[in-house]
Amino acid sequence: MEEKKYTRLGERMFHQVLSNGLHIYVSPKPGFQKSYAFFATNYGGMDMRFRMEGEWLDTPAGVAHFLEHKTFDTEDGNALQDLAANGASPNAFTSTALTGYYFESTEKFEENLRILLSFVSVPYYTQESVDKEQGIIGQEIRMGDDEPDTQVFYGMLEGLYAHNPIQVNIAGTVESIAQITADTLNLCHKAFYDPGNMVLCVAGDVDPEEIVRIAREILPEEGHAPVERDYGPAEEERAARQDWSKEMAVSTPIFQLGFKDVPPDRGEEWLRWELLGDLACEALLGTSSPLYARLYNEGLVNEAFSYGCEAYPGAAFLCAGGESRDPDAVRKAVLAEGERIGREGVDEGLFQRLKRAAYGSLVRGLNSFETICVSQSVGHFHGYSYLSFPEVFETITKADVEACIRRVVTGEKSALAVIRPKGGTV
Amino acid sequence: MSTVKRTQLLPGVFLTSVNTKKFKSSLLSMTLLAPLKEETAAVNALVPYLLRRGSEAHPDLQSLSAVLDQLYGGSIDPVVRKKGEIQCVGFLGSFLDDAYTLDGGGVLAQAAELMGELLLRPYTRDGAFCPDYTRQEKGNLIDRIRAEVNEKRQYAVNRVLEEMCQEEAYGVGRLGREGDVEAITPQSAWARYRELLAHSRLELYYCGSAETDEVCVILQRALSGLPREGGYEVPATVVVPAAREVRRVEEAMDVAQGKLTMGFRTGGVTAAGPDYPALVLCNALFGGTTTSKLFLNVREKLSLCYYASSSLLRYKGVMVVSSGVEFSNVGRAQDEIEAQLEACRRGEFEPWEVEGGRRYTVSSLQTTTDSQGRQEDWWLSQAVAGLTQSPRELAEALEKVTVEEAVAAAKGLSLDTVYFLKGMEG
């Protein structure tokens, strides 16, 4: 196995590619009670249209998430229960571009890993169980309908994008999931749950060679290359619509403000874009910025304020959101501050401090096995190695941050989504 | 392996210190303990937020952010927690461990100094809190209290507890009441703050690579000038052993999904009693895990919901069941939940259910030491209750619990209050 040492971070990472195309990463963590395994496919809510055996296929919204629920079913029962019976804490999630299955356990790690690799790679979908799941997922969708943070985030995406499928709710709708059958699930499993489209990442006090052996034993020898997907034509640089709003039973307006950027290239450029985007947010409206202090003092934002950046195939954006009595005033202030930075630049002392702070937060994040494994998996799918962030981070200059703000923080690239209290109050 | 040490630093000031090298960060907290009372809950909850606004040396948010950035993006967050009938107010800080700094450490000493400064030497005007900060933080606290309704799942849990314990101190909300916040003045908050400093027990917690002796020296220096005037006793939480009759409370709101919560008395069993491990296993078998009766029957078998689970409030002797269901299914869901509890009382457990519940719970306790945040919360809670049992010791006790003992714990549960959040129509 290939071993990389990241001495500044006090980390090591083992890496191996199998003949079926599966990449395996192992992060040794002596001294911890638990071990964590994350098995992910490069397939998420946005992957609805793809080409198989020469033919373009369209699938309903919510299939990746539905598949995630039903993949735990096995011919002998349910893998969730098998893992839990071994004391493991298993779970799974579906995001915009990835579906991940994982468990954490303190004993029988190797047996649990065999269960994980086996249930994810062997499809077992029956129409009866698909029908039953409609009820459970229907309730999950209804729960999301009542979550203002979820609603406002999709609202912002609808504002930013004309057609890129990231704006489609990952869980789908009650109507779209009604179209899903066992055949749909089998087809998508075949397309995306192939070792060539997947990654396995493990953190813990484990033997890396043993993990490779188990993966070879459980998974098929051959794999196929990832299938081609279609996310529609390239988006315009400007936001599709700058305003979106909805009323819900909330106590105060809840908002999400987005700024659309050009998606980064694969490889280290992707990582660099993410690190740069975070720093640009910090400089523009982060908790140490002059703007944040002003907004906070004026009562326009509170501690629920948060911000960041995200990149997907064909879509990338910076965003910030939270609670505010006047979200429009927040957008106005952010745009004005963007203009000021574009003109005057970022204060040198502030920039150095922000960089130091961001570095410390990234390193502290490595306490979490989940952060290591999920970030490494996402990085793998985008063609970079997550733990190389200190080196990439060093290359980011003040001028880069200023250029990013100048490019992205403009009225026409912005979309503001607001959830307003129904009838003015709850 | 890590070691846990408890040391008295000053009268009524205790340090719980965990020395370990396995994390990238160090965690430091300072928490004042006050009895939970209607008349003081709001002002106690306001104090840490007021203190976090500025100190003599760092009088505003920007100067505080600047010094935290310099400490590699360390965080110091105001925290208000409810542990049994004790309100815990103070600061929770996370900092890069000295081993991972780029310039050779010193972060812990400076961070402790800063936290001590925030606690002891606030920014003042005319001998009280600054009127501007007081006005702004009162507004923020009111927003925070009102915002509890935004997250319906947690809101329904809070409401059932509030209704159930309306004649006990536990019924007082963690953040107090809106009307009481409005009445606070800079002077009244100041008087309350001085009272807390002089007469409350102060719990300190540290987890990181520094030796306990060094941490003691650093914290003693950081807290020099702390007034200590006696009366540091922490009153015991009142436990009501059994419900008298079942109360039902319904509320209507504009929501898509109903929320059903049920509060049970545990027969007087709390974390302090010898029967507690049996109650923990009982909770796991009934609704605490994905192998539990609630998960397998209410969700998987009947497809009534996306979530149905139970959890313990271990110092209060209460168990809460929480579920999100279609409005029209609430009766069926409640019947099924009660039927599953009856099955527990009859001891209808397959061996794999018992083994699964036990392994899951033991594992979850063991991994407490893998997370700095979970460890801190554990030891703070134990300190409040005057208990010294470690997660590992509770895990060992769980290994010995028999099915009969878990059944006895189930028989001791009595339903007190049922809360249902329903839609506006029908």
- Answer yes or no: is pLDDT of B360 > 60: yes
User: Residue A201 corresponds to which tokens in the numbers above?
Assistant: 């990442």
Rounded distance, CA B186 to CA A412, Å? 44
Is A182 found in the same domain as A160? yes
**Nearest alpha-carbon partner for B51 in B179, B197, B227:** B197
Specify the number of domains making up chain A: 2
- Contact: A147, B151; criterion CB under 8 Å: yes
Is A315 found in the same domain as A191? no
- Contact: A89, B326; criterion CB under 8 Å: no
- Contact: A250, B149; criterion CB under 8 Å: yes
Is A410 found in the same domain as A295? yes
Choose one of A229, A262, A297: the last residue of a domain: A229
- Answer yes or no: is pLDDT of A359 > 60: yes
Rounded distance, CA B406 to CA A319, Å? 49
In this prediction, residues B348-377 reach a mean pLDDT of 94
Under CATH, which number does the domain B3-222 receive? 3.30.830.10
Cβ neighbours of B153 in A, within 8 Å: 143
Angle at B158 between CA B155 and CA B163, to 5 degrees: 125
Rounded distance, CA B278 to CA A382, Å? 48
Q: Kindly report, residue by residue over A175-211, the tens digit of the pLDDT.
A: 999 999 999 999 999 999 999 999 999 999 999 999 9
Residue of B65, B326, B336, B349 best to disrupt the A interface, most CBs of A under 10 A: B65
Q: Does A79 touch chain B (CB under 8 A)?
A: no
Rounded distance, CA A293 to CA A286, Å? 9
Q: Does A371 fall in a domain?
A: yes
pLDDT category at B303 given cuts 50, 70, 90 is confident
Is A381 found in the same domain as A300? yes
- Contact: B364, A80; criterion CB under 8 Å: no
Per-residue pLDDT at B2: 67
Per-residue pLDDT at B103: 79
Per-residue pLDDT at A419: 97
Beta bridge mates, A256: A321, A417
- Answer yes or no: is pLDDT of A425 > 60: no
pLDDT category at B1 given cuts 50, 70, 90 is low
Is A251 found in the same domain as A200? no
Cβ neighbours of B299 in A, within 8 Å: 136
Q: Does A237 fall in a domain?
A: no
A68 given a catalytic annotation? yes
CA nearest A368 in B: which residue?
B371
CATH code of the domain containing A220:
3.30.830.10
Q: Which of residues 230-259 of A touch B (CB under 8 A)?
A: 248-252, 254
In this prediction, residues A389-412 reach a mean pLDDT of 97
Angle at A48 between CA A45 and CA A51, to 5 degrees: 140
Q: Does A126 fall in a domain?
A: yes
Mean model confidence pLDDT for chain B: 95
pLDDT category at B102 given cuts 50, 70, 90 is confident
Asked if residues B233 and B34 have their Cβ atoms less than 8 Å apart, the reply is: no
Cβ neighbours of B60 in A, within 8 Å: 293
Residues sharing a CB contact under 8 Å with residue B43, sequence separation 6 or more, in sequence order: B176, B180, B184, B188, B189, B192
**A185 CB burial (10 A radius; 0-12, 13-18, 19+):** buried
Cβ neighbours of B350 in A, within 8 Å: none
Residue of A139, A300, A305, A418 best to disrupt the B interface, most CBs of B under 10 A: A139
**Nearest alpha-carbon partner for A292 in A278, A281, A276:** A281
Burial A327-342 (b: 16+ CB within 10 A, else e): beebbebbbebbeebe
For chain B, what are the domain ranges?
3-222, 247-422
Per-residue pLDDT at A426: 44
Indicate the pairing of strand A23-28 with strand A198-204.
parallel
Q: Kindly report, residue by residue over B226-273, the tens digit of the pLDDT.
A: 999 999 999 999 999 999 999 999 999 999 899 999 999 999 999 999
Is A148 found in the same domain as A62? yes
Is A332 found in the same domain as A399? yes
Q: Nearest CB to A143: which of B146, B306, B371?
A: B306
Per-residue pLDDT at A240: 98
Is A259 found in the same domain as A187? no
Q: Does A238 fall in a domain?
A: no
Q: Does A234 fall in a domain?
A: no
Q: Nearest CB to B325: which of A139, A288, A296?
A: A139
- Contact: B291, A84; criterion CB under 8 Å: yes
- The question of ipTM being above 0.95 is answered as no
CA nearest B355 in A: which residue?
A85
- Answer yes or no: is pLDDT of B355 > 70: yes
Asked if residues B48 and B89 have their Cβ atoms less than 8 Å apart, the reply is: yes
Per-residue pLDDT at B104: 74
- Contact: A364, B256; criterion CB under 8 Å: no
Q: Which of A3, A11, A55, A68 is catalytic?
A: A68
Range of the domain at A47: 2-229
Cβ neighbours of B66 in A, within 8 Å: 288, 353
Choose one of A183, A206, A229: the last residue of a domain: A229
Torsion of CA A177, A183, A185, A189, to 10 degrees: -160
In this prediction, residues A163-169 reach a mean pLDDT of 96
Per-residue pLDDT at A324: 96
Cβ neighbours of B25 in A, within 8 Å: 364, 367
Q: Which of residues 311-370 of A touch B (CB under 8 A)?
A: 323, 353-354, 356-361, 363-364, 366-367
Q: Does A235 fall in a domain?
A: no
Is A382 found in the same domain as A285? yes
Q: Does A32 touch chain B (CB under 8 A)?
A: yes
- Contact: B132, A81; criterion CB under 8 Å: no
Fold match, B3-222 / B247-422: yes
Tell me the pTM.
0.91
Is A43 found in the same domain as A7? yes
The alpha carbon of residue A392 is apart from the nearest alpha carbon of chain B, in Å, by 16
Is A252 found in the same domain as A225? no
**Half-sphere exposure of residue B5: CA atoms within 13 angstroms, side-chain side:** 16
| Inter-CA distances, A236 with A161, A185, A263, B1, B39, Å | 8, 33, 11, 56, 57
Choose one of A200, A229, A258: the last residue of a domain: A229
- Contact: B62, A146; criterion CB under 8 Å: no
Considering chain B, what percentage of its residues have pLDDT values greater than 70? 99
Q: Kindly report, residue by residue over B147-188, the tens digit of the pLDDT.
A: 999 999 999 999 999 999 999 999 999 999 999 999 999 999
Mean model confidence pLDDT for chain A: 95
Per-residue pLDDT at A81: 87
Q: Kindly report, residue by residue over A90-142, the tens digit of the pLDDT.
A: 999 999 999 999 999 999 999 999 999 999 999 999 999 999 999 999 999 99
Q: Which of A243-247, B109-113, B327-331, B396-400 has the lowest mean pLDDT?
A: B327-331
Cβ neighbours of B24 in A, within 8 Å: 9-10, 363-364, 366-367
Q: Kindly report, residue by residue over A299-354, the tens digit of the pLDDT.
A: 999 989 999 999 999 999 999 999 999 999 999 999 999 999 999 999 999 999 99
Is A179 found in the same domain as A65? yes
User: Residue A219 corresponds to which tokens in the numbers above?
Assistant: 């998974």
- Architecture per CATH, domain B247-422, reads as 2-Layer Sandwich (3.30)
